[in-house]
Amino acid sequence: MRMRTTAVAAVAVALSAVLAAPAVAAPGGSGAGTGDVTGADTGDHRAAHRAMRAAVAAGVPGVTATAKDRRGTWAATAGVGDLRTERKRSPHDRYRIGSITKTFVATVLLQLEAEGKLSLDDTVDTWLPGLVTGNGHDGTRITLRQLLNHTSGVFNYTADEDFGRTYFLKDGFFEHRYDTLAPEDLVRVALAHEPDFEPGTDWNYSNTNYVLAGMVIEKATGRPYGEEVRRRIVDPLHLTATSVPGTRAAVPGPSSRAYSKLTQDGTGPTYDVTRLNPSLAHSAGEMISDSKDLNRFYRALLTGRLLPREQLNAMTTTVPVGSGQGYGLGLMKSELSCGVTVWGHGGGIHGSLSEAVTTENGRHSLAFNFNGDWAGDTGAVIEAEFCGD
């Protein structure tokens, strides 16, 4: 299953491509850059390097990637970070990570459970009384665990057609790109629809689940969820490129520009969408990071530096979502074609597609970003890195 991140699905990033079957790459559009590739074609990373070049040939303006394994750290780029100046991408680029934010949020909730401040079996209504109600939604029957593994049935607000036209398509985006949306606004969009299914009876990716999870963190701690992410994860791991921007429109440097077609089918002119107010994603997908930080985060998470064993076991208990794939608590598992199993998440938001995965023992990690959201095959890059030719 592959959910392509085009304009209307941009924030959802539903399932990351790495953890799904490769898709046919969209043709390159107006202004797509080819650029030179930097980084050495050596060792076990040559196949990944070729896959990065293939993504640029398919229309992605540029790619930046960093891998860490037993040989050390490898970083490479392909294509350009700025279509106007043809400046190349940098291994140090910061970028919007979209739904990779979900793993950070789930980690904080699990830490709070380990501290006895809440239980994953608590209902949403316990923490957010009266919020999730209407059109068949009932927060008294949905648990925090069901939010984190997407079995709540709560409608995905980014699938709302009016929301998509307003924030993901060209005319709406340029009028509303700097709007500030409160998490309650996003939940209200979801609750205008009926649930996808009864809680706990099925699986469907919903960004609303993680907006609610962020709100629970704030209710349980009395602090913004982003502050909890910073003091519990970002600062202890020294993730110097990682931030929760809130309403800040810019991406801190060093960074590249981000590009989108702002159409449903990924065709047409290419637009610079770097600046936007990420409150439209909130705790479902607003964070910024770089590849080095993401590798460090997932290695620390999978090797038990952030969670006690009980909570890490809960996080890695998955719901089947496809052949060889499962979704845990903000963490996805996928068995690649060569039998290697990786854990991580993918993320997309306007002009940015990102992936971060690691093996369960933390010994081999990869994180990368496309600075365009309409072309390329992220799954091919991961297959190449972990499975080779």
Q: Would you name the residues annotated as active-site residues?
A: 99
Q: Which token pair is 301?
A: 């998470």
H-type alpha helices, the chain: 46-57, 101-114, 124-127, 144-148, 161-167, 170-176, 183-191, 207-221, 225-229, 291-302, 309-315, 378-387
Q: Are 187 and 214 in contact (CB under 8 A)?
A: no
The answer to whether the beta carbons of residues 218 and 185 sit under 8 Å apart is: no
Taking Cα atoms as reference points, which of 66, 134, 115 lies closest to residue 364?
66
Residue pair 117/168 in contact (Cβ under 8 Å)? The answer is no
Phi, psi of 346 (to 5 degrees): -115, 165
Distance CA 340, CA 143 (A): 32
Return d(Cα 346, Cα 331) in angstroms, integer. Answer: 10
- Helices 101-114 and 207-221 cross at an angle (nearest 10°) of 40
CA-nearest of 386, 380, 275 to 16 is 380
Residues 358 and 342 sit within 8 Å (Cβ to Cβ) = yes
Q: How far is CA 138 from CA 134, 154, 191, 196, 240, in A?
A: 7, 9, 10, 12, 40
